[in-house]
Amino acid sequence: MKLMENLKVQLEERSYDIIIAAGVLKKVNEVLADFAAARRCLIVTDSNVQPLYESTLKLGLAEIGAETADYVYPAGEEHKTPETVVDICRKGVRSGLDRKSLIVALGGGVCGDMAGFAAAMYMRGIGFIQIPTTLLSMVDSSVGGKTGTDLPEGKNLIGAFWQPQIVVIDPETLKTLPAEEVCCGLAEVVKYGMILDEEFFSLLEKNIDKLKSLDMGFYTKIIRRCCELKAEVVSKDEREGGLRAILNYGHTFGHALELLSNFEVAHGKAVSMGMAIAAELAADTGRISKELAERQNALLKKLDLPVKAPAGFDAEEVYNAMMQDKKTLGKIIRVVLPDAIGKVSIVKGLEKDIVTKAIRKCCE
Catalogue the active-site residues. 124, 146, 188, 230, 240, 244, 248, 251, 255, 267
CB 130 within 8 A of CB 106: no
By CB neighbour count within 10 A (0-12 exposed, 13-18 middle, 19+ buried), where does 168 fall?
buried
CB atoms within 10 A of CB 161: 16
DSSP single-letter state for residue 64:
T
Residues 6+ apart with CB under 8 A from 309: 257, 273, 318, 362, 363
Beta partners for 40?
A: 67
- Number of residues assigned to the chain: 364
The pair phi, psi for residue 70, each rounded to 5°, is -135, 155
CB 81 within 8 A of CB 114: no
